[in-house]
């Protein structure tokens, strides 16, 4: 049974989330503020955390920062704040996804499924996302068992997206990982390489979804 921790100061929201998640077989733990949420996370070691940003005494962002000092548990942000800069900050502090309140039950459960899905480990010599396979040892990509010719930069870019499949990766995170140490603005180059990758992968492979003003997400065929 998967364990979920809900960190939200609104009792009605916790009750709603508990009802939805228990119907899907989750074991539920709750916390009404950040400090208690961190204690519950350390004690129960949940499989996923649903975190509100507007918490009393300690903001959700601060909870996330402290959590990421010792845990890589998937975290889904639930917040009424839908500004791009808030979403970017949460994602760059370690959130796996961001859902704006109010939200639909189907969307919530789908997002939870995606961020909990572990398709690979860092030790794995390959990453598979749908019909796309990345050979990390030989820096080769294949789609439907046929090789896809990628430049070194394109391979580095698709590798970053594949490592976070189903999750939003911000533009800043991508640039830091693909062009480490570069001081110049790479945003235009990123757009160009994304367009090239989309053409090479085509409609039959995973889709690179643009999250306007935030970044990109790689979705398996049929998930977007």
Report d(CA 93, CA 215) in Å as an integer.
14
Q: Which CATH superfamily is domain 3-116 in?
A: Response regulator (3.40.50.2300)
Q: How many CB atoms lie within 10 A of CB 54?
A: 14
Q: In the beta sheet, which residues pair with residue 209?
A: 217
Question: What is the pLDDT, as a whole number, of residue 57?
Answer: 87
- State which fold the 126-219 domain adopts: Arc Repressor Mutant, subunit A (1.10.10)
Question: What is the pLDDT, as a whole number, of residue 120?
Answer: 41
How do the domains of the chain map onto residue ranges?
Answer: 3-116, 126-219
Q: In CATH terms, are 3-116 and 126-219 the same topology?
A: no
Report d(CA 28, CA 199) in Å as an integer.
43
| Cβ within 8 Å of residue 135, ≥6 positions away | 125, 126, 141, 142
Q: What are the tens digits of pLDDT across the range 8-43?
A: 999 999 999 999 999 999 999 999 999 999 999 999
CA atoms within 13 A on the CB side of 214: 22
**With bands split at pLDDT 50, 70 and 90, how would you rate the model's confidence at 119?**
very low
pLDDT at 77 over 90: yes
Question: What is the pLDDT, as a whole number, of residue 118?
Answer: 54
Q: What are the tens digits of pLDDT across the range 172-210?
A: 889 888 887 666 677 888 999 999 999 999 988 999 999
């Amino acid at each position: 049974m998967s364990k979920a921790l809900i960190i939200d100061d609104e009792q009605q929201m916790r009750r709603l989330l508990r009802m939805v998640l228990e119907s899907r077989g989750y074991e539920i733990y709750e916390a009404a503020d950040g400090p208690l949420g961190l204690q519950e996370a350390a004690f129960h070691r949940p499989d996923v955390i649903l975190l509100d940003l507007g918490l009393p005494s300690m903001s959700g962002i601060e909870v996330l920062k402290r959590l990421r000092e010792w845990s890589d548990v998937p975290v889904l942000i639930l917040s009424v704040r839908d500004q791009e800069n808030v979403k970017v900050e949460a994602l760059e502090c370690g959130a796996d996804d961001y859902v704006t309140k109010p939200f639909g039950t189907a969307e919530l459960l789908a997002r939870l499924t995606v961020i909990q899905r572990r398709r690979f480990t860092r030790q794995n010599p390959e990453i598979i996302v749908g019909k796309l396979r990345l050979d990390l040892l030989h820096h080769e990509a294949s789609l439907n068992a046929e090789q896809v010719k990628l430049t070194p930069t394109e391979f580095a870019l698709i590798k970053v997206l594949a490592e976070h499949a189903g999750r939003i990766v911000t533009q800043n995170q991508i640039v830091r990982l693909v062009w480490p140490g570069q001081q110049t603005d790479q945003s235009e180059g990123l757009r160009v390489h994304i367009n090239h990758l989309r053409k090479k992968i085509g409609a039959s492979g995973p889709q690179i979804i643009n999250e306007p003003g935030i970044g990109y997400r790689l979705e398996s065929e049929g998930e977007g």
